[in-house]
Amino acid sequence: MKKILFAVIGLVLLCLHDGTRQQTEARAAWHVAHYENVLGTSLALKFAASSDADAARAEAAALAEFERVGKILSGYDATSEFSRWLKTSHEPVRVSRELFDVLNLFEQWRVKTNGALDPAAQVVAQLWKDTAAQQRTPTDSELRNAVATIRQPHYRLDAATQTATRLSEAPLRLNSFAKSYIANRAADAAMRAVKLNGVVINSGGDLVVRGALSEAVNIADPQADAENDAPLARVTLHNRAIATSGNYRRGLTINGRWYSHLVDPRTAQPVDHILSATVVAPNATDAGALATSFCVMQPAESLRLAASLPEVECLLITKDGQRLTSKGWSALETPLPSSPVTTTSSAQAWDQSFELLVNLELARVEDQRYRRPYVAVWVEDKDRFPVRTVALWYQKPRWLPDMKAWSRSDRMRSMAEGSDITSSVSSATRPAGKYSVKWDGKDNHGKFVAPGKY
């Protein structure tokens, strides 16, 4: 366990006026926009467009689809179509095509995964949440009752009439791949709205890649998942989707012991044997469903299921750090850049058991179209001389001078040169607005700083 080194850091946030929302900046042929609190997580939109106007139209189309389908499938919005349907009982209700499709897909994946994926897993999640509030684990009786509740039929679908009949009172959630389903729809909507060379939708770490261009996607390391940590792996995708699920960002603590938020609906127990499961598939819905399921299933089962499905590949990281991949995974993977070599003298100048972890929580704004604010995190020495820009997030470089504390010197501004804000990362879902970055004691040139106060 690394010690935390306390230091003085700079953190600047600049919220842009709504009037700038439709203005995007082309960097490396991509127009990029970042949003917070969309389906309860972060959202990154990337469009390879011939003009700002085309990118703005694509962005508007994608956001409109997120809002439209989100109002159908959300389990947290009491006015959504799904929430209203949950209140019905034993009567066929004609539902939208989107809700019918997702309910049908859940039933298909429940069968394919032998029950590892189930919309009624919310029964178990709620049980553990309730008992954690009492600082106790569920009793054997409570666990048995939860499993029995999950095993009963919860709905019946009729394709001829496009109706869904609610058969139980068990709480249901569509979270496992609802955001993946919506991301698929949003990518298609953007491609229909205007001629684009490429689209990348990143909804909380689940990505859809569409169009003529390929996208390099970094996969977060479950044991070092800060925003600026080195990735575990990198894959290059073309007209495919990728999703990652894992227990490393959420969970419960009961009497000092941590429990995963991921649960096995068949046993009502939390699962922690898989730290991270990443799946590449032809569409985001399949990728999302499988990534969640592979965190619950045993690795051998997961690899067999992946091998039985066309164009599906996976990377599993087990609790003991073992890396397991499907047969075709290596064909997708691309080499990561090599890390700078640390000299013995510089390493001795810095105690490598120390690191600085900065947790950021951006203000939560209940607006589906709230862009992520500009953020700069940097390290200064005792003379306020900047030694490292740890993070710099922005939409358009023209507004960087307004981050006055960060940009007060030419040296700091030069640190922004080459900052890559367009990279895509597949990771376990994070809560909206919650990020972490690390400082490892190195300056902007990769050398350890001298001992002192920072």
State the pLDDT at residue 365.
65
The sign of the dihedral angle between the CA atoms of 224, 227, 228, 232 is positive
Q: Which two tokens stand for residue 442?
A: 């190195």
State the pLDDT at residue 90.
97
- Which parts of 148-240 are beta strand (E)? 155-158, 163-166, 198-203, 206-211, 215-219, 233-237
Question: Residue 174 in contact with residue 289, Cβ under 8 Å?
Answer: no
Q: Give the Cα-Cα-Cα angle 363, 65, 313 (nearest 5 degrees).
A: 90
Question: Residue 266 in contact with residue 90, Cβ under 8 Å?
Answer: no
Which runs of consecutive H residues, i.e. helices, occur in 326-445? 329-332, 344-349, 410-415
- Report how far residue 221's alpha carbon sits from residue 198's, in angstroms, rounded to the nearest whole number: 27
Question: Residue 206 in contact with residue 278, Cβ under 8 Å?
Answer: no
Please indicate, yes or no, if residue 292 is contained in any of the structural domains. no
Domain limit, last residue, from 166, 182, 215: 166
Query: Per-residue pLDDT tens for 79-134?
Result: 999 999 999 999 999 999 999 999 999 999 999 999 999 999 999 999 999 999 99
Domain that holds residue 381: 356-439
Please indicate, yes or no, if residue 324 is contained in any of the structural domains. no
Please indicate, yes or no, if residue 157 is contained in any of the structural domains. yes
- Report how far residue 378's alpha carbon sits from residue 181's, in angstroms, rounded to the nearest whole number: 37
Query: Per-residue pLDDT tens for 177-193?
Result: 888 999 999 999 999 99
State the pLDDT at residue 5.
40
Question: Residue 155 in contact with residue 167, Cβ under 8 Å?
Answer: yes
The pTM of this model reads 0.83
Please indicate, yes or no, if residue 161 is contained in any of the structural domains. yes
Please indicate, yes or no, if residue 409 is contained in any of the structural domains. yes
Please indicate, yes or no, if residue 393 is contained in any of the structural domains. yes
Query: Per-residue pLDDT tens for 14-32?
Result: 443 343 333 333 343 578 8
Residues in the chain with pLDDT < 50?
Answer: 1-28, 344, 409-411, 413-414, 416-421
State the pLDDT at residue 413.
44
Please indicate, yes or no, if residue 386 is contained in any of the structural domains. yes
Total number of domains constituting the chain = 2
Domain limit, last residue, from 166, 191, 212: 166
CATH number at residue 103: 1.10.3980.10
Domain limit, last residue, from 146, 166, 186: 166
Please indicate, yes or no, if residue 254 is contained in any of the structural domains. no
